[in-house]
Amino acid sequence: MEALAERLSQLDPHSEGAIRVVAFYDTLMRRRVDLPALARASAGLAECVAGIRLHGTGRSIRVAPDGRDATGPQAAASATAPITLDDEEIGTVWVERPGPPGVFDDVLLDRLALAAAAVVERYGPARTTMADPALVELVVSAGCDEAGRARALRLLGFAPDLPVRVVAVRSRLPLDRIGALICPARPVKAAVVADVGVILATTVAQDAFPSGVRAGIGTAETPDRSWRQARTALRFTTPRRPVVPHGALGALALLAEVPEAAARANPDVTALAHLARNPEDLETLEAYCATGSLRRAADSLHLHHSTVARRLDHIGTSLCIDLTDPTELMRARVALTTWQLLHDET
């Protein structure tokens, strides 16, 4: 292998050289080398540092031309190529050439990326984010036995000793992008189940969800219970609170169990339905219930506090609720939350 790499590195920029680079990587793939061996062979062929990085695991390999791990800070990549598996970018390969690009760098990186994808697919579960919806549904299904659930998790790439958090998502953004953001360096899988995005992750960074995403996060230890919690929490999300962990709901989660007919028949909810015809009034009440303060509500709405005060007086009269009284304000909050659950549009 080393002798072949030495010969190829001395070729002039003709098509024969490109063909030999392709043959070089075909040989490596037939030998079923691993990622470190791929990086070593590529660094020797390129005569400069070569690197491989997988997005899903955070794993990065940098090798110098002498076959040793490259030390020191990473230099700027002189050329890169994406590693693609099942139409998803799962990583990057690159070379760190100090001078001008090599004649065969593009061909070398193209073949290195293909070889790296083959290695990832061959050894263990693929580190892609998108998963088979059937497997994900097995993991979160209440009717699946524990042996079946464990097998599905294993096929998805989750180790038996790893915790699995379940997130219910509604968003126009691709699920794989969201999963990579909230769990960048640990196993994460995603699929759409019953028109709801499901993300299975070993860790969830709540502050990493991008704008425009509504997400409910389950907190139970078992995936099926966590999935039920995540779907419930998703119903409580609002534009002001787009990400809701189920554990943060507390007793409010009980509102999700109220029969729809009983909720709609409640006088406070009925009054709120009439109020909601005016978006400004509804937005003002939401801000006031969220902050509990006239001035903080005015700040969040970017309005003068006197304007918000007039609106709240009108809202209180419409609802027959004294919003300055703590008990009455609690009535308004419960009615508002119940109305939002009935008109869930996440």
Q: How far apart are CA 133 and CA 118, in angstroms?
A: 23
Q: What is the pLDDT of residue 291?
A: 87
Q: How far apart are CA 293 and CA 324, in angstroms?
A: 10
Q: How far apart are CA 282 and CA 287, in angstroms?
A: 9
The pLDDT of residue 267 is above 90: yes
Q: What is the pLDDT of residue 4?
A: 47
Span 258-342 CATH architecture = Orthogonal Bundle (1.10)
Taking the domains of the chain in order of start, what are their residue ranges? 2-122, 133-255, 258-342
Backbone angles phi, psi at 227, to 5 degrees: -65, -40
Region at 339 (left for phi over 0; alpha for psi -120 to 50; beta for the rest): alpha
Q: 118 falls in which pLDDT band (50, 70, 90)? A: confident
Q: Are strands 243-245 and 214-217 parallel, antiparallel or unpaired?
A: parallel
Residue-wise pLDDT tens digits, 55-75: 755 668 899 999 888 887 888
Instruction: Residue count of the chain, please give it.
Output: 346
**More confident position, 226 or 6:** 226
Residue given tokens 């042996």 in the structure block: 147
Which residues are within 8 A (CB) of 123 and not within 5 positions of it... i.e. 6 or more apart?
34
The pLDDT of residue 31 is above 90: no
Residue type for position 138:
L
Residue type for position 41:
A
Q: How far apart are CA 219 and CA 215, in angstroms?
A: 13
Q: 15 falls in which pLDDT band (50, 70, 90)? A: low
Residue-wise pLDDT tens digits, 291-341: 888 899 889 888 898 998 899 999 989 999 999 899 999 999 999 999 999
CATH top class, domain 2-122: alpha beta
Q: How many H helices and E strands in the chain?
A: 14, 9
Average pLDDT for 94-123:
87
**More confident position, 276 or 185:** 276
Three-class secondary structure assignment of 134-187: HHHHHHHCCCCCHHHHHHHHHHHCCCCCCCCEEEEEECCCCHHHHHHHHCCCCC
Residue-wise pLDDT tens digits, 125-137: 445 677 778 889 9
Q: What is the pLDDT of residue 10?
A: 52
Average pLDDT for 180-188:
84
Q: Are strands 188-193 and 79-85 parallel, antiparallel or unpaired?
A: unpaired
Output DSSP code: residue 97: -
Contact 84, 112 (CB under 8 A): no
Q: Closest by alpha carbon to 49, among 37, 34, 65?
A: 65
Q: What is the pLDDT of residue 161?
A: 74
Q: What is the pLDDT of residue 127?
A: 53
Q: What is the pLDDT of residue 2?
A: 47
Q: 206 falls in which pLDDT band (50, 70, 90)? A: very high
Q: How far apart are CA 1 and CA 5, in angstroms?
A: 6
